[in-house]
Amino acid sequence: MQDVAAEAHIHRLQESFNALNYSAEETLDVYGLMLLARLTDEYLADLRTKGLMTGGVSCKGHEAIQVVCARELVVGTDYTLPYYRDLALVIAMGMPLYDIFLNHLGSEADPNSGGRMRPAHWSSRKLGIVSSSGVAATHILHAAGIAFAAQIRQSSAITAAFFGEGATSEGDFHEALNFAGIHRVGALFICENNGVALSTPQSRQMKVKHVVDRASAYGVHGMLVDGSNVFAAAAAIRDAATRARSGGGPVLLEAIIPSQMRMREQPDIYDPVYGLRAFLLQSGKLTEAADTEMRETFTQKIEDAYKLALSADKAGIFAVQDYVYADNPAVNVQEHLQTETSFNIEETLQHD
Amino acid sequence: MTERTISMVEALREGLREEMGRDERVVLLGDDIGSAGGIFTATMGLREEFGGGRVWDMPLAENGVVGVGIGAAIGGLRPVAEVQFADFLLSAMSQIVNEAAKLRYRSLGQWSCPIVIRAPYGAGLAGGPDHSQSVETLFAHIPGLKVVAPSTPADTKGLIKASIRDEDPVIFLEQKSLYHQRYGVVSDDEDYVIPLGRAIVRREGKDVSVITYGAMVFESLFAAEMLQREQIDLEIIDIRTLQPLDIDTIGESVSKTNKAIVFHEDTRFSGIGAEIAATIGEELFEFLDGPVIRLGAPFAPIPAKPSLEKEIIPNAAALANAVRRLSRY
């Protein structure tokens, strides 16, 4: 039975792949990013197990939707508002592994927040990643506002907010989608539904079967995708981004993320990375040898980035009151962190 | 450049209009601010003048108004969000405190939030417990926010313009009983801007310093007239902004008069007066002839019935009594 189900999954992947028109190179790019995210995620988990690191949240099972979304967002133009589970998203958007480890080490050298936030609260002006707080759903309203500003400025920029299904219980979710629907702003609301908010199952969070069932209540276009099928997810997000970019209004896209248990027990059906690998091997797009080589290269890169981050002794860069207000940044962040972080409103306005 | 006598709400509207004309990134968001012109008429005519693309009526959700406004600020605009009563800012507390106030800090200045959040506050219009509160100190307590509470038309105009030009989130609180009652001479110089964080000596005197803001400025001036007959000369400091707080101006005054009373319509307990009194006590102890007196509302909500409201809000007579008590030292 297991084999039949696995075969059926590969068949679904093939069908989605055929509909998508990805080149061989694009396909391997996507697999590479998903694999890099998975290996980084596992490396971080291992460090936590060994007590070498605390904090951070696993993106295991979420890689497909996150990577394909990153591919649709234009760095330098679009705005991305991730939540703490979006490791694969920020990797795929181009955040260096070094920065990711600095962030997880809570280093003052971390360009995301210099140790001011717990790990996995991302921020990169350069990548268009808007700083996120540790409060669920507040950023969904910001996404609506950013998209609204883009509309007023007649910019083609789109704005994507990511969140779990737990955040959709917050009033901010309702207010954001309601507003976005009224003004038909170019926003993508990406719900990564893994069926459980910390410990509370979906059945105790909402009466509807799918988060996306609520879309029509806001006059927002709703889309439901299988988060284990990367090609279906890629096609869906491409359509969603095209719609948002061309004035077609906001989209609520819900990706069904398999539970950790299902992924463990039936990885060939539910684990997006495992499933994609099986498909690529079976269809001759990837060889075992190439896969092994890729893994080894990535593992080395991860290891190197971690060691470099460990050795980055940057204590005392910031005074406690730096950046509380505009008039008290005592240091030049660019100089110290070697990253482009300046806030230039003119540049923002001239993006397109 | 001319000067005219106009009301506080007219001065506010003038400030908004001038900044909208000066900077096309300035947009207004709020409930009933468009064709209705705002429930206190602060935005009357602005939609007609600048068009619907600059003045936006929002769904009735204060948290949404503020949250969308924060996003608009991130997205390159200079939003001015109106919340109909300061009491309703509490519905948007997480957006204001966890988001607007901390965005610059937590991103090392990569992102910032130049938003002005305006709201009428305070008693005097029989609004009752949820339409009359003084919420200013709640926000003055939050690193990352600036808090403004003007008392005159000229200050209202100069400070709203400064707030809109500011790079950080500003909570701009307007004492609602002053809107249509308080008139003053206002400049129409486009660059008439009052920097945030500067108090003003509203009345010079030599005997007792009264540190106050908002509607209590006028109770203080009234008390000063009463006390003049008793040969007591009040100096009145209008702090105008609670965050940042101009301790220097307060210090200069108190080191001259050697007596200080802090006076506000917010509760005496944990009002901004407590912070000011403590700072005076710590930094100017050797100058003081007597205790720093705090005068504020009793620790109770504000009732709606006008006679009851009058009873709870401190006034000139209460201040005069406190001054007489302090003068004995």
Question: Are residues B180 and B212 located together in one domain of the fold?
Answer: no
Catalytic site residues of B?
131
Give the residues across from B241 on adjacent strands.
Answer: B148
Looking at beta carbons, which residues of chain A come within 8 Å of B63?
141, 171-172, 175
- Chain A residues 141-170 with CB within 8 Å of chain B: 141-150, 152-153, 159
Q: Which fold has domain A2-313?
A: Rossmann fold (3.40.50)
Query: For residues A309 and A105, is the Cβ–Cβ distance under 8 A?
Result: yes
Question: Are residues B260 and B169 located together in one domain of the fold?
Answer: no
Question: Are residues B265 and B321 located together in one domain of the fold?
Answer: yes
pLDDT digit string, tens, across residues A109-121: 999 999 999 999 9
Supply the CATH number for residue B303's domain.
Answer: 3.40.50.920
Does A175 contact B at CB distance below 8 Å?
yes
Supply the CATH number for residue B146's domain.
Answer: 3.40.50.970
Q: Which of A123, A141, A179 sits opposite B111 (nearest CB)?
A: A123
Q: How far apart are CA A48 and CA A306, in angstroms?
A: 13
User: Is residue B68 assigned to a domain?
Assistant: yes
The answer, yes or no, to whether residue A330 has pLDDT greater than 60, is no
Does A261 contact B at CB distance below 8 Å?
no
Q: What is the pLDDT of residue A351?
A: 31
User: Final residue of a domain: which of B136, B152, B187?
Assistant: B187
Burial class (CB in 10 A: 0-12, 13-18, 19+), B248: exposed
User: Is residue B195 assigned to a domain?
Assistant: no
Q: Which two tokens stand for residue B14?
A: 């003038």
**Which of A142, A148, A332 is the mutation pick for testing B, counting most B CBs within 10 A?**
A142
Q: What is the mean pLDDT of chain A?
A: 91
Q: Which residue has the higher pLDDT, B90 or A343?
A: B90
Burial class (CB in 10 A: 0-12, 13-18, 19+), A247: exposed
Q: How far apart are CA A148 and CA B70, in angstroms?
A: 11
The answer, yes or no, to whether residue A74 has pLDDT greater than 60, is yes
The answer, yes or no, to whether residue A333 has pLDDT greater than 90, is no
pLDDT digit string, tens, across residues A5-59: 899 999 999 999 999 989 999 999 999 999 999 999 999 999 999 999 988 899 9
Question: Are residues B221 and B160 located together in one domain of the fold?
Answer: no
- Contact (CB<8Å) A145/B27: no
Does A331 contact B at CB distance below 8 Å?
no
Q: What is the pLDDT along chain B (329 residues), one digit of tens a residue?
A: 678 999 999 999 999 999 999 999 999 999 999 999 999 999 999 999 999 999 999 999 999 999 999 999 999 999 999 999 999 999 999 999 999 999 999 999 999 999 999 999 999 999 999 999 999 999 999 999 999 999 999 999 999 999 999 999 999 999 999 999 999 999 989 999 999 999 999 999 999 999 999 999 999 999 999 999 999 999 999 999 999 999 999 999 999 999 999 999 999 999 999 999 999 999 999 999 999 999 999 999 999 999 999 999 999 999 999 999 999 99
- Chain A residues 57-96 with CB within 8 Å of chain B: 79
Q: How far apart are CA B204 and CA B234, in angstroms?
A: 7
User: Which phi and psi angles does A53 have, rounded to 5°?
Assistant: -160, 145
Instruction: Give the chain A residue nearest B143 (alpha carbons).
Output: A324
Does A109 contact B at CB distance below 8 Å?
no
Query: For residues B92 and A171, is the Cβ–Cβ distance under 8 A?
Result: no
Question: Are residues B179 and B221 located together in one domain of the fold?
Answer: no
Q: Which two tokens stand for residue B168?
A: 């950080």
Confidence of residue A320 (pLDDT cuts 50, 70, 90): confident
- Chain B residues 199-258 with CB within 8 Å of chain A: none
Confidence of residue A347 (pLDDT cuts 50, 70, 90): very low
> Looking up tokens 């801007």, which residue turns up?
B193
Residue A96 CA from chain centroid, whole number: 14
User: Which phi and psi angles does A162 have, rounded to 5°?
Assistant: -115, 140
User: How far from each other are the two terminal CA atoms of chain A, in whole angstroms?
Assistant: 53
Does B68 contact A at CB distance below 8 Å?
yes
User: Final residue of a domain: which of B144, B166, B187?
Assistant: B187
- Contact (CB<8Å) A148/B68: yes
Percent helix, strand, coil in chain A (nearest 5)?
55, 10, 40
User: Is residue B193 assigned to a domain?
Assistant: no
Q: How far is A264 from chain B (nearest CA, A)?
A: 36
Residue A295, amino acid = R
> Looking up tokens 């669920």, which residue turns up?
A136
Q: How far apart are CA B214 and CA B10, in angstroms?
A: 17
Task: Identify the CA nearest to B208 among candidates B223, B190, B189, B229.
Answer: B223
Give the residues across from A161 on adjacent strands.
Answer: A81, A189
Question: Are residues B12 and B131 located together in one domain of the fold?
Answer: yes
Q: Which of A141, A153, A326 sits opposite B64 (nearest CB)?
A: A141
Q: How far apart are CA B176 and CA B83, in angstroms?
A: 13
Give the residues across from B36 on adjacent strands.
Answer: none
Query: For residues B272 and B136, is the Cβ–Cβ distance under 8 A?
Result: yes
Show the beta-strand stretches assigned E in chain A: 79-81, 159-164, 187-193, 196-197, 200-201, 221-226, 251-256
Q: How far is B32 from chain A (nearest CA, A)?
A: 15
Task: Name the 3-class secondary structure at B146.
Answer: strand
Question: Are residues B216 and B289 located together in one domain of the fold?
Answer: yes
Confidence of residue A317 (pLDDT cuts 50, 70, 90): confident
Looking at beta carbons, which residues of chain A come within 8 Å of B61?
171, 175, 178
User: Final residue of a domain: which of B187, B215, B250?
Assistant: B187
Does A237 contact B at CB distance below 8 Å?
no
Q: Which of A135, A323, A327 sits opposite B98 (nearest CB)?
A: A135
Looking at beta carbons, which residues of chain B come within 8 Å of A345?
25, 76
- Contact (CB<8Å) B74/A130: yes
Does A346 contact B at CB distance below 8 Å?
no
Q: What is the pLDDT of residue B47?
A: 97
Lowest average pLDDT, out of A153-167, A249-263, A325-339, goes to A325-339
Give the residues across from B170 on adjacent strands.
Answer: B116, B146
Cβ density class B87-107: b for 16+ within 10 Å, e for less: bbbbbbbbbbbbbbbbbbbbb
Return the domain boundaries, chain A. 2-313
Q: What is the pLDDT of residue A349?
A: 30
Looking at beta carbons, which residues of chain B come within 8 Å of A141?
63-64, 67-68, 70-71, 95
The answer, yes or no, to whether residue A346 has pLDDT greater than 80, is no
Q: Which domain holds residue B101?
A: 3-187
Question: Are residues B134 and B272 located together in one domain of the fold?
Answer: no
Q: What is the pLDDT of residue A2?
A: 66
Confidence of residue A348 (pLDDT cuts 50, 70, 90): very low
The count of domains in chain B is 2
Q: Which of B67, B99, B109 sits opposite A329 (nearest CB)?
A: B109
Residue A126, amino acid = K
- Contact (CB<8Å) A152/B63: no
Does A182 contact B at CB distance below 8 Å?
yes
Instruction: Give the chain B residue nearest A341 (alpha carbons).
Output: B110
Q: How far apart are CA B170 and CA B158, in angstroms?
A: 14
